[in-house]
Amino acid sequence: MSTYTNLLFHVVYSTKYRKRQIREAWQDELYNYIGGIIRDEKGVLLRIGGIEDHVHLLARFSPTIAVSDMLRLIKCNSSKWVNERDDVRTKFEWQTGYSAFSVSESQSPVVDRYISNQKEHHRARTFEEEIMEMLERHGIRYDPRYVFEQEIVQ
């Protein structure tokens, strides 16, 4: 039998310490760059969206690469791209972790709309509230003390 897959994921990750660093001036270019990274790994970016401190992806990943490896490539290469821009003055970093949820084909339009409406959605809810709700909805056990990286102030 031939191999057939439909590995559809909703992935969410934020900037380091959820700093509001994603600038509207280059956000679309960043999103296109991320789409190129996914294409280079034989995946398909179906939707990308977010606000200044985080990104949501709806993407099909190739079965030949682990989700963790795909996210490492996306975050490593896209942060390098941002930091090489002449108009970025402070170091840009993504958080260490991420959340990835499997999506059934039938729910793909719902997730697509959700990602498309991030700006409106975050007028009423913070990223922190959003991710905690997502973890609960997907039945993921967590300790709230360790969900978010905390900046150590000295």
Q: What are 54-92's pLDDT values in tens digits?
A: 999 999 999 999 999 999 999 999 999 999 999 999 999
DSSP 8-state class, residue 105 = G
pLDDT of residue 150: 83
Over residues 83-108, the mean pLDDT reads: 96
Containing 109, the helix (H) or strand (E) segment is helix 108-116
Over residues 105-132, the mean pLDDT reads: 94
Q: What is the CATH class of 8-140?
A: alpha beta
Express each pLDDT in 31-56 by its tens digit. 999 999 999 999 999 999 999 999 99
Rounded Cα distance, 37 and 57, in Å: 13
Going by their DSSP bridges, the two strands 44-51 and 8-14 should be labelled as unpaired
